[in-house]
Amino acid sequence: MSVTGLVRTSGSLHASGKRSGSRARWTRKTKVVSAVAGALLAGGGAYAATNWAVGLAGGSSGEAQSATVSNLTISAVATPAAANVMYPGGNGDVVLTISNPNSFPVTVTGVNLPTNTTYAAGYTTSGLSTAQTGCSSSTSDVIWNYSTTTSGSSHNLTTAVTVAPSGQPGNPLTVTLTNDASMTVAAPSACENTFFSMPALTGVTASGGAATATTSPATDSWTS
């Protein structure tokens, strides 16, 4: 029997002139690769610049929000100990902490003092828990230095101090106010060897905003 239309390829012989083997497989691969390349080219075309310019609608915007402002807290603290201690007619250091509950730095430039007849209360230890007999806020004659007869008198710090945001190092900020407590000559002998809780400040001059935090502990004062 004779066979017509045979074609020899690298594979086997088949009728009807169809080729098989590696060449046929190569042809299928070529089609797949071509299809993938075409898809990639089509996808790339989606990101290409065109002559169809697109503008921005008027009033386009976004939303932001400002922080809530909370007051500072100033508290007495025993560490570090006061280097300058008081005696009748002399001045001494005040040690305190400033706590900033805000999410931004706060810079303090001044304080407001109570009157010079508002006295500190005396205690037996630095923990300020046991009152010193005979040395109370009525009798101690310990006042803020440079306080006046007017409540709320303003006094600028020699150097502004910046308290870091809440949760950051340096908050609370410990500050020693050099010689900003004063004992008058009328102070009773019961106030010897006594620790004092200074009268509450009536206010501060402070502002919030970007600033470099002061390293704790710090030393400052007001001199008038």
Virtual torsion, Cα 208, 212, 214, 215, nearest 10 deg? 140
The 3-state secondary structure of 112-146 reads: EECCCCCCCEEECCCCCCCECCCCCCCCCCEEECC
Question: Tens of pLDDT along 170-193?
Answer: 999 999 999 999 999 999 999 999
Residue with tokens 């900020």: 173
Q: Phi/psi of residue 44, each to 5°?
A: -60, -35
pTM: 0.75
Phi, psi of 82 (to 5 degrees): -65, 130
Of 81 and 24, more confident: 81
Mean of all residue pLDDT scores within the chain:
86
Dihedrals φ, ψ of 164, to 5°?
-65, 160
Percent of the chain with pLDDT over 90: 76
Question: What is the C-alpha separation between 194 and 204, in angstroms, rounded?
Answer: 27
End-to-end CA distance of the chain: 128
Residues 91-140 have pLDDT tens digits of 999 999 999 999 999 999 999 999 999 999 999 999 999 999 999 999 99
Residue 47: its pLDDT value, please? 62
Residues in CB range of 211: below 8 A, 6 or more apart: 105, 107, 162
What's the confidence (pLDDT) of residue 2? Answer: 36
Whose tokens are 């065109």? That residue is 50
